[in-house]
Chain A
Amino acid sequence: MTVASAKPSRTFTPAGSGRPRKRRDTQQRLAFWLLLPAGVAVFGVIVYPILRTLLISFFEVNSALATVTPFVGLQNYAHVLSSSGFWGAMGRTVYFTLVSTALELVLGLVVAGLLNAKLKARWVFRAIVVIPWAIPTIVNAAMWKGILNAQYGALNALLTQLGVIDQYQAWLGDPTTALNMVILADAWKTTPVVAFFLLAGLNSIPEELYDAAKIDRAGWPRIFRSIVLPMLVPSISIVLVLRTIEAFKVFDIIYAMTRGGPVNGTQTVAYYAYMTAFSDQNFGLGSALAFIIVLVILALTAFYLRLLRRSEMSLL
């Protein structure tokens, strides 16, 4: 299909001559056919379900086999917005998002600097840094769950043998500590991804800028502030958007590490929505929750896109 429709464009004319109008038409048609498979594969899967979820969110659906599903309008949304469980989960999600994104950005900047530095065996260092990125989230979560175990965990053993703590701690036993530990586990896995994104940005800084700074006898703090940071703004903005969205949707690591516990201490909005829909079988409420998450992420992204546009992204 796509090959056949590409034929008209064979009549290629060098720029400037020929019939631009017609060329534009063939380009339009070719673009349509080239994008059709991707469009079908992505939107074919997404569009109907998202509309269906929106629809469900206006009904009371209390089980998978419910036959009576009364229309309740915005009641599900009102119910969500007035429940303390939701606001608790929202608060924890915001905390998780802010702290993990900030941590990963700062550490990622340091690691990116090291990846870019003149190291012996640089290849080995890059290969090591890529490892956490490759480890599946579920494996990462299981690994940290084991390390942080209250009775047999390696962290307790290490800290006790080093004399840092005098008795074993339940790292995942207290709501606040548990959330911070999940953030640490998330940062361990995700900082390398952030670092590689920022490294891409570092690589695009022209060498001449550094040379010029050296001629001006600028010190490293000065070079960082006046050259590296401004030139990195586009990369930093992308990473910020991607990480914020990802962190706001966080589910896998929570599921595998703490199942939202203890006492809901690590329950984020996505996990809360999952529990409402699948554990309580309250699909109407769960759908409303899912939609509220979509709206919040939309608002966040719109805010970030303004930042991005200012920093002249190529294709965003």
Chain B
Amino acid sequence: MKRATRYSILVHGGAAIVSLVILAPFAWMVVASISPQRMLITTPLRWIPDHLYLDRYTEIFRGSAGGTGAAFRAALVNSTVVASGTVAVAMLVGILGAYAFARLRFRFRRSVLALFLLTYMLPQISLLIPLYLILNVLGLLDTRVGLILVDCSLVIPFVLWILSNYFLTIPVELEEAARIDGTSRLGALFRVILPAARPGIFAAIMFAFLLAWDEFMYALIFTSSTAAKTVPVVISEFAGRYTTDFGLVAAGGILAALPPIVVAIAFQRYVVSGMAAGGVKG
């Protein structure tokens, strides 16, 4: 009993410290975003703003066209379209491919999978110049479609890996029962495997969304206007231009982080089970 109490104090204390280390910087960003500029540059710094200063959020949400706010709003839309598009394509293509890896016997199965995973090793910088020229020829520079295209090549290998590992954990008998009843392989995939693979699917969606939302280098080089600039690009411009106004960068940063945080918190419990079976097979 005594040992159990000590254990409980230890883990709760540890969890509290970890939570503090994680939440403190983020909380400061929130506070800074609603503090008037003059308070952020006083020494000694006062941690609690004397009044709620929401001008930055008003600018971001209502700012007139051509201003900082409008650019940010366009970027939010672009990021949403690019990330959702990438997730949709990557999941569709990934589910089909992962099924093949997990269930079918074919020559070079392991080599093909290894080849997909090896692409992860290529730094984006090694593809940047030719990709720029290709997108230019195709008229896809500074378009969301162009970004979805290149982002998919980053995300699909990950999705394939997570999903094929997860599909492997689903008993073959489930599928065979359906097949004996006359369902085709693809019918069994969509009617039997996918429902059973829900944690793996959700884990893959979360991974794909976070990767696509976070992608920076391609967006930095391949976009040049509000037509396709994504949130990370705009934030990095903010941070470069308003070096003294941390509050504005913080406000933009929080709004940029909100969609992925919501997705991550909502999907987090699936990630544990999705990877528990998927990430490693002991």
Binding site for B on A (CB under 8 A): 2-3, 6-7, 9-10, 12, 14, 24, 27-28, 30-32, 34-35, 37-39, 41-46, 48-50, 52-53, 56, 110-111, 114, 117-120, 123, 125-139, 141-147, 149, 151-152, 154, 157, 160-161, 168, 188, 192, 196-197, 199-201, 203-205, 231, 234-235, 238, 242, 245, 248-249, 251-252, 255-256, 270, 273-274, 277-278, 283, 286-287, 290-291, 293-294, 297-298, 301, 313-316
Cβ contact within 8 Å between B14 and A135:
no
Cβ contact within 8 Å between A114 and B184:
no
> In B90-122, which residues have CB < 8 Å from any A CB?
90, 92-94, 96-97, 99-101, 104-107, 109, 112-114, 116-122
**CA of A296 to CA of B184, assembled, Å:** 45
Residues on B with C-beta less than 8 A from A278 are 221
Residues on A with C-beta less than 8 A from B180 are 12, 14
Cβ contact within 8 Å between A200 and B280:
yes
Q: Is B29 an interface residue (CB 8 A)?
A: yes
Residues on A with C-beta less than 8 A from B184 are 6-7, 9-10
**CA of A205 to CA of B282, assembled, Å:** 8
Cβ contact within 8 Å between B150 and A34:
no
What 0/1 readout, one digit per residue, does chain B (110-148) give for beta carbons within 8 Å of chain A? 001110111111111111111101100000000000000
Cβ contact within 8 Å between A2 and B96:
yes
Given A45-B131, A301-B121, also A147-B253 (CB < 8 A): no
| A256 → chain B closest CB, angstroms | 5
Q: Which of B123, B164, B269, B273 has the most CB of A within 10 A?
A: B123
Report how many A-B pairs have Cβ atoms within 8 Å.
Answer: 330
Cβ contact within 8 Å between B93 and A196:
no
Cβ contact within 8 Å between A298 and B121:
yes
Residues on B with C-beta less than 8 A from A123 are 269
Cβ contact within 8 Å between B100 and A134:
no
Cβ contact within 8 Å between A235 and B93:
no
Q: Is B44 an interface residue (CB 8 A)?
A: yes
Cβ contact within 8 Å between A50 and B126:
yes
| B97 → chain A closest CB, angstroms | 4
| B126 → chain A closest CB, angstroms | 4
| A82 → chain B closest CB, angstroms | 21
Given A110-B14, A146-B250, A161-B44, also A35-B96 (CB < 8 A): yes
| B4 → chain A closest CB, angstroms | 9
Q: Is B210 an interface residue (CB 8 A)?
A: yes
Q: Is B54 an interface residue (CB 8 A)?
A: no
Q: Which of B92, B233, B279 has the most CB of A within 10 A?
A: B279
Q: Is B227 an interface residue (CB 8 A)?
A: no
Cβ contact within 8 Å between A152 and B246:
yes
Q: Is B174 an interface residue (CB 8 A)?
A: no
Given A48-B134, A196-B272, also A139-B253 (CB < 8 A): yes
What 0/1 readout, one digit per residue, does chain B (240-282) give for beta carbons within 8 Å of chain A? 0000101001100100110011011100110111011011111
Q: Which of A117, A123, A135 has the most CB of B within 10 A?
A: A135
Partner of B105, one of A27, A204, A287: A27
For the complex, count residues of B whose C-beta is within 8 A of A. 113
Residues on A with C-beta less than 8 A from B244 are 152
> In B126-183, which residues have CB < 8 Å from any A CB?
126-131, 133-134, 149-150, 152-153, 156-157, 160-161, 164-165, 168, 176, 179-180, 182
Cβ contact within 8 Å between A286 and B231:
no
Residues on A with C-beta less than 8 A from B118 are 301
**CA of A121 to CA of B157, assembled, Å:** 35
Cβ contact within 8 Å between B156 and A200:
no
Residues on B with C-beta less than 8 A from A201 are 279-280, 282
| A254 → chain B closest CB, angstroms | 11
| B212 → chain A closest CB, angstroms | 11
Residues on B with C-beta less than 8 A from A9 are 184-185
**Pairs A–B under 8 Å by Cβ, sample size 24:** A10-B182, A27-B105, A37-B92, A38-B156, A41-B152, A43-B119, A50-B126, A127-B265, A134-B264, A137-B232, A139-B257, A142-B250, A143-B253, A152-B45, A152-B244, A157-B44, A161-B44, A200-B278, A235-B280, A255-B216, A256-B216, A290-B123, A290-B125, A297-B122
Given A41-B153, A138-B235, A294-B123, also A160-B210 (CB < 8 A): no
Cβ contact within 8 Å between B104 and A38:
no
| B266 → chain A closest CB, angstroms | 9
**CA of A286 to CA of B104, assembled, Å:** 42
